[in-house]
Structure 1
Amino acid sequence: METNSIDTLPADDSHAVNILTPQPVDKADRIQTIDLIRGLALLGILMMNIPGFGFLGSGFIALLSKPEGPDFYAFAIVGTAFEGTMRGLFSMLFGAGMVLFTMNKQEQENGPTVAEYYYRRLLWLVLFGMFNAYVLLWFGDILFFYGLCGMLLYPFRKTKATWLIGLAVLCLGINTIRTEIWYGGLRENRAGYLEATKLEKAHKKPTEKQKEAKAAWEKFENNRKPDPKKDAKELKAMRGDYGTVFAHLIPRNSESETYGTYFGTWDWLMMMFIGMALLQWGFFSNKLSTSTYALTLLIGYGVGLPISWFYVQSQVGWVQDPGSFVDTYRTIPFQVYDVRRILLALGHASLLILVYRSALVPWLMRALTAVGQMAFTNYLSQSIICTLFFYGYGLGYYGKLSYYQLYYVVAAVWIFQLIISPIWLTYFRFGPFEWVWRSLTYWKAQPMRRMVDVA
């Protein structure tokens, strides 16, 4: 998913640096808790992406049709506690990072303006997203969307937090209305199907409108049924060489970027606006009281987890019997998705900050912070590692692992990145992809080696 503010970030105001020439922020001037939370989100998002890398999509139908066993339990745990929350945190931090990027720069009489640096940075991010999708072949890339949505944030960089929350609510409302319009059409098709079926059983002729609704509902149900021939074609293509996988994924990548831009923009912007507001309130920069973080944790988990469990159960009902599901719910239960993930995202971030303050596991906090500081590199390296492990031009494990076994791969990638990231940053100022991005943004090669550790 879905990377976030993966650029360098300055520390709080007391550590602000008067920069005469725009440049990346030094390690000593970063806000550690932002890197820390970003590190958690970066690792956590792989839990949601891993099925896309290596699990046949139709497998979810079998998994949810019989809700028992290790596959379903893995799905239920990840779905209840983490689905959407890591991408939510990433989006929040991206919004915060966009503000910090502009705060860290001063206008120059000669040379590019802050706005030019800002948009240059995002244009490169869009291209990196296309690289991730069309070269690394990860159809679940989010860099492309973050670059596009980030371009809309600049005019709001100085907007007050309350207005930012209002904008987030507006985005949520637009998403809600659009979903209800779609679900309302589905319910109409279902009602027409039932009416047409009843008339046909009574040897009466349905109206043209009822026939159209019946056909639309039957198409909807048929599209949800497993197709062995389609699955076999999918497996053969994904286990092929690079050219075969590339050709197979071109339509999917194009559809994903088009669909995501059209339907996902309000989702991304909602979380980014929330992140910008939370930055103003000092939430991400560890400025609030311990009791505030503890209360946020209790509310986030206490309210978010029950709602999230209802969401997972709704997914089961949706797969097992969509007709009964639509007949039962006048409003689609999946509308709770954004509310639950906001609550859980804030709960996860609060828990992490409380652990950070307690100094219980300093080694883990340092490792997560390093992962977050190298989030851009780590995000793209997840694409490289997972495509090489699952796709045919690598080890070819696509479709060979059970759902729960996918998380063994996740754990291995986590361990690798938690070990490598702090070691790398001992010798270098940036991750390799961060260095490329910064050098392109400032149109000047940035110093890479760490001559003196100022931390």
Structure 2
Amino acid sequence: METTLSATDPSGTENTAMPTTLPQPVTRTERVQTIDLIRGFALLGILLMNIFFFGLPYMYQATLLTLPPESTDFRTNMVVSTIFEGTMRALFSMLFGAGVLLFLAKKEVPDSPYTVADFYYRRVLWLVVFGLFNAFILLWPGDILYAYGLCGLFLFPFRQLRPTGLVIAAFVCIAVLFGKDVMKALETKANREGYLKAVQLEKQKKTLTDEQKQAKEAWQATEKRTKPDKKQEDEFIKKMRSDYGTIFLTLQPFNVKFESTEFYQSLFWDALAMMFLGMALFKLGFFSNQFSTRTYALTLLAGYGLGLTLGYLAFLDAVAWHQNPGKVVDSGSFSFQALYQIRRALTAVGHASLLLLVYRSGVVPWLMKALANVGQMAFTNYLMQSIICTLIFYGYGLGYYGRLAYHQLFYVVAGVWLFQILFSAVWLQYFRFGPFEWLWRSLTYWKRQPMRLRPAQTSLPEAAA
């Protein structure tokens, strides 16, 4: 069972037969359903990681990694970290890259004052604006739309590269991140050695140099970050249960850092690497269900076999680091955290392979349809998660911030999933696309897009399978 490729919009739209010569969204029958369902799966999965930062203070990670191994929260964290940490965002980034190629595949219109490139750059620039809205208005400090919009500006020149070239570009980005991690590790090791030397000199009643003092302070700061700090957690929780203004001021430094220095240091390379891989996989036909069943079975086994193993080992490294960072540095052992980008890409490919195999089997068509609906409205559902979760946890909403145990947060995740699956299914019975998709497209084409489905359109199939 194969799906024919078409020039669909990144998150899916349809042709509305508008009296204009400008490029238009495509019809429902032209959609690539497998891309929608994988996108829907990734969108829902992202909440598995984001829910922690919606409901608990970021510094609680130190507490979580130092809990007794038999505790429910520790075991939950082990499963989530091994299977989902970074992998859903990787998959979402890959599909963004695939979506870029889909959008740019639209034909140029003769005598039109605009080209597809004009609409593309307008589109990604508006995505930057939506990202700022998500971060500074909806107050979600983990926004990815801003980063995707900026990365999208760099993808256009790579659209004609062959899959091999795109894979090379991805590994260049991964190499940059690996180099940054190595430099950081060397700096940490130097601080540790400086700290040990400083302690030894202090025991001998000798005066420390400024460099030795700095190394000592740097290592002590590193150790402090690995230890639970109940007082700091309580102070942060109190602020997050307060009013909108207080929460805005509390999160502002995190948002500014995340969308400036943090973006430059890591997220830019992180997102670009996965986008390049997504573009390569799309050109090879991986996401559009064009590989053989045997090939998908092999990519499933390889992706999960290597990716999940590395994910578990990386989790054990994180636990060891928070229990005794000095011992970890002194041992000089290899940290599997260094293979973060490789293992998340492998696991993401495993996730996609599993979905495509289930899709081909026809075992749960209702689930595949539900995921495709969520994926078709991915932009709306992503922003909806910010709206719903901030209203549940923040002080200007229900104020549940810091009130639930880590494992209990996933009850909220299940509730949000159920709501978004039902909402997407009902909404698409009456409308061409989600409300934020409609707004985004209207801004992209600078023309109000038709929203309602005509009666005859409601019975159209989603895609050729």
- Say if 1:356 and 1:365, in contact at 8 Å, map to a contact too: yes
Q: Amino acid of the residue matched to residue 24 of structure 1? A: P
Q: Which segments of 5 or more consecutive residues in structure 1 lack a partner in the other structure?
A: 12-18
- Counterpart of 1:40 in structure 2 is 41
Report the AA paired with residue 412 of structure 2: V
Matched residue type, 1:293: Y
Partner of 2:24: 23
Decide whether the 8 Å contact of 2:392 with 2:400 is kept in 1: yes
2 CA distance for matches of 1:60 and 1:409?
Answer: 19
> Can you list the C-alpha shifts for 1:385-419, whole angstroms capped at 9, x where unaligned?
00000001110000000000000000001111111
Measure how far apart 1:208 and its partner are. Answer: 4.4
Q: Is 2:126–2:444's contact at 8 Å kept on the other side of the alignment?
A: yes
Structure 2 unaligned residues grouped into runs of 5+: 1-8
Paired with 2:42 and 2:365, the residues of 1 have a C-alpha distance of: 18
Percent same amino acid among aligned pairs? 55
Aligned partners of 1:240, 1:208: CA distance in 2, in Å? 42
**Residue in 1 aligned with 2:5?**
none
Q: Is the 8 A contact 1:61 1:226 kept in 2?
A: yes
**Superposition pairs for residues 286-301 of structure 1, below 5 Å?**
286-301=289-304
Q: Residues 127-159 of structure 1, C-alpha deviation per residue, up to 9 Å, x if partnerless?
A: 000111111110110000000000100011111
1:159 paired residue number? 161
1:427 aligned counterpart, secondary structure: coil
1:232 aligns with 2:222: no
CA-CA distance at 1:206 after TM superposition: 4.7
Residue-by-residue CA offset, 1:407-453 (whole Å, 9 max, x unaligned)? 00000011111111111111110000000000110111111111022
In structure 2, what is the Cα distance between the partners aligned to 1:378 and 1:223? 34
Shift of 1:219: 2.4
Amino acid at match of 1:60: Q
SS of corresponding position for 1:28: coil
Cα gap change, 1:78 to 1:6, in 2 (>3 Å)? farther
Equivalent-residue separation in structure 1 for 2:218 and 2:421 (angstroms) = 49
Contact 1:88 / 1:271 at 8 angstroms: preserved in 2? Answer: yes
- The 3-state SS of whatever aligns with 1:291 is helix
What CA deviation, in whole Å up to 9, does each residue of 1:264-321 have, x standing for no partner?
Answer: 1111110000000001100000001000000000111111111111011011011111
8 Å CA contact 1:122, 1:148 repeated in 2: yes
For 1:438, the equivalent position in structure 2 comes to 441
Q: Which residue of 2 aligns with 1:285?
A: 288
In the alignment, is residue 364 of structure 1 matched against residue 367 of structure 2? Answer: yes
Match of 1:151, SS state, is: helix
Aligned partners of 1:352, 1:330: CA distance in 2, in Å?
Answer: 36
Q: Which of 378, 393, 398 is equivalent to 1:395? A: 398
Distance 1:374 1:185, change over 3 A: same
Larger displacement relative to structure 2 (130-139 or 330-339): 330-339
Q: Which residue type is aligned with residue 255 of structure 1?
A: K
Q: Distance in 2 between matches of 1:59 and 1:348?
A: 28
Aligned to 1:268: 271
Q: CA RMSD in A?
A: 1.7
Match in the other structure for 2:144: 142
Q: 1:203 Cα deviation (Å)? A: 4.1
Partner Cα distance (1:296, 1:331) in 2: 27
What displacement does 1:196 show? 2.1
Task: Report 1:61-210 matches (<5 A).
Answer: 61-66=62-67, 67-210=69-212
| Inter-CA distance 205–246: structure 2 relative to 1 (3 Å threshold) | closer
Distance in 1, matches of 2:25 and 2:218, equals 54
One-letter amino acid of the structure 2 residue matched with residue 352 of structure 1 = L
- Which secondary structure does the structure 2 equivalent of 1:65 belong to? coil
Name 1:58's counterpart in structure 2: 59
Aligned counterparts of 1:436 and 1:176: Cα–Cα separation in 2:
38
Determine whether 1:314 maps to 2:317. Answer: yes
Q: Alignment partner of 2:197: what SS?
A: helix
1:81–1:344 CA contact under 8 A, matched in 2: yes
Quote how far apart the aligned CAs of 1:82 are. 0.8
Give the CA deviation at 1:20.
5.1
Q: CA deviation at 1:338?
A: 0.9
**Distance in 2, Cα, partners of 1:299 & 1:425:** 36
8 Å CA contact 2:94, 2:276 repeated in 1 = yes
- The corresponding residue for 1:7 is 11
Q: Partner letter of residue 56 of structure 1?
A: P
- The one of 424, 427, 440 equivalent to 2:427 is 424
TM-score (normalizing by structure 1): 0.94
TM-score, normalization by structure 2: 0.92
